Amino acid sequence: MVCERVPKATAGAEVDFASFFAMSLPRVISIVNRLCGDTATAEDAAVEALARAYLIWDRLSLVNYRDAWVLRVALNFAYDQLRRDRRARRTWRVAPAQDPTESVVLHMALIKALRSLSRRQREVLVLHHLAGCSYEEIASLLGCSVGTAKVHGHRGIARLRSDAALHVFRESEDEHDVS
């Protein structure tokens, strides 16, 4: 999970950063990719965030929220990149499903539903449901209170549940299960 704490190495700051980098890079790329839907931007953002972490590693290594800090920097970088490229803004999407032939309708409905959510609701839902972060960790990462993170999560889920296109798909899926 992205919100796990990386144990500090005893051999010094260089080794500690190397292990932190190795553990963080794939997770940060995965989460940023889920939020922005662009693998190249996610990779650039993750590397940029870890490069910035390296520059201040002597201070950052001492805090408990260093993984959240790196993720926040990566997300900010990715959002900035997407804002600069108007074509990339249209690439926000859900990661592809295992069997695309069965999920095309759901995929299209999810894209539309996720685009209808606020940026903060999307962030909370991805961090909680895909990355497995607790609401306390999400609040720290996003710079808000735990209650605010929970409200964004609750409202995002409520909007997704109320989406008519997703509801129709669930009903047709349930009918297939009964047969």
Closest CA to 121 of 106, 142, 102, 100: 142
pLDDT in tens, 138-148: 898 888 999 99
Residues 167 and 172: their CA atoms lie apart, in Å, by: 9
Class of domain 97-179: mainly alpha
pLDDT in tens, 52-88: 999 999 888 888 888 889 999 998 898 888 777 755 3
Does residue 4 register a pLDDT over 80? no
pTM across the whole model: 0.51
Query: CA geometry: angle at 104 spanning 131 and 159, to 5°?
Result: 55
pLDDT in tens, 86-96: 553 444 444 45
Residues 157 and 94: their CA atoms lie apart, in Å, by: 15
Q: Where are the domains of the chain?
A: 1-92, 97-179
